[in-house]
Structure 1
Amino acid sequence: MGYKIVVFLGPTLSVAVARQHLDAMYLTPAGNGDIVKAVIDHAPSVIVLIDGVFAQSPAVRHKEILWAMSRGVRVYGASSMGAVRAAELAAYGMCGYGMVFRWYRRTPLADDADVAVAMAPAQLGSFPLGDALIDIRLTLKRAVLDRIIERKLQVTLEQLARSIHYTERSFKKLISIAVEHGLSGPELLALDHWLQGGKRKQKEADAIGLLTLLSSKSFEMKTRAEPSFFELTEAFACDMEYYNFTEIISNSDLY
């Protein structure tokens, strides 16, 4: 394509499916320091942040995204951690895409955990071990529109879903807890059956949409973006020293 794209991807979409939409370098979910490392190792023109780590190790920092953009890298975010960071950094030039991004953009106090899911180790492909709350909520909304359940049950199930820690949250777990709370009945049975083909996968749809956009002929980006100003902070410098990126903090062009 004439420019290099690095994509941080994990439980939202498999790499095999992602490659059907965009030929790029795919890396495991981003954590603290990984975007800086990608810029140093691969010199991409574009970085796409879809998935990132949440609790098992430090999350990707806002400052390293700003640093990447200061080096002329265009940074896009969607679906999961990418949508969260894009909503937070839109005013500084990070590009967000999709419904999940737009929801975070207009809901400043939204919980990051609404897009979080437990995932397998990177060595095993970072595949999802559950369902994100945002996908559960959109699915229940669709179930009401399809007249599978009533609005009252939707509200109750959303409350139950939110009470489940994201590491254990799934449709299967939700139905099980609903039964434990005495909600078993025709509506719940109908929902359980409908879920086999009725689940909303908005995170996945947003990821595919962004990758498709970046691969389309209408997307033109033949050169790197113009570098922007970056203010070095003590916290960022400490991070770079920790990850042994000392050459970054010694470069005078960062000031």
Structure 2
Amino acid sequence: MPTAPLAVSPNPNNVMLGRGKIFGDRLQLVNGVLQRTGEFDLGNCTALELTPKADVKEKYESMDPASSLYARAVTRQTHSLKITGDEYSLFNLANALMGNQGTITTTGASVTGETLTTAPLAGAYYPTKFRNISAVTLHDGVSTKVLGTDYAVDAASGRIQILPGGSILPADTLTVDYTYASYTLNTVSGGTAASVDMYIRFKGNPVKGPQFEAEFWHVQFTPNGNLGFIADDFGNWTLEGMCIADPINHPTEPLYHLLQVA
């Protein structure tokens, strides 16, 4: 790779109109040590903002009415990172919801006599124990109910709706026979992670300005903002986090570093 030109001012080539890709690597605690598990592309992100902040103590002299600033010292500094993304991937959702990814796997079979409800209400939906159902038969203990007249089936989710105007009464105990197909579904369990700790890599590809890459060794994120699943515009998610020092693995640059690559 050629040596990148030294970015010094004044130079209009240094003004930044940024673009780029962001990769996240969820850190897991193994035997008391946070370990990386693999980088995932976060997809289209509309913002990556790095905010340094310093807490300052100031001492003012009391020897004359002007009370001029006598001494000043930085007592601590923090560096925060904010990412706004558009893509609702499983990895992104798990991070935005402080959750974890998983799967549900079910082997298909047949069910006979499953109790659906003991107090059916017209218009209400009642779930079966499994999804992807077919060959549904609904009973009230006396008669077999008629599909399309007494009830409707949401086969994909595994639900039965009691249709208004049918023969099903509120006092009926309904049982159901059905067959369900095998399925494996990906899941995100929201709110199951005590914290979201990540390694972040940024690969800049700006419209204008010097090209940087960045590595943030350990950022502890918390979700911020709404995650829209019904909206009049494209949804997005926002993560805000604090950079945590890693002096053991990176003693000379414990928080992060920026690399000018072009």
Q: Which has the higher strand share?
A: 2
Whether these two folds match at TM > 0.5 is no
Greater Cα radius of gyration, structure 1 or 2:
2
The TM-score normalised by the length of structure 1 is: 0.24
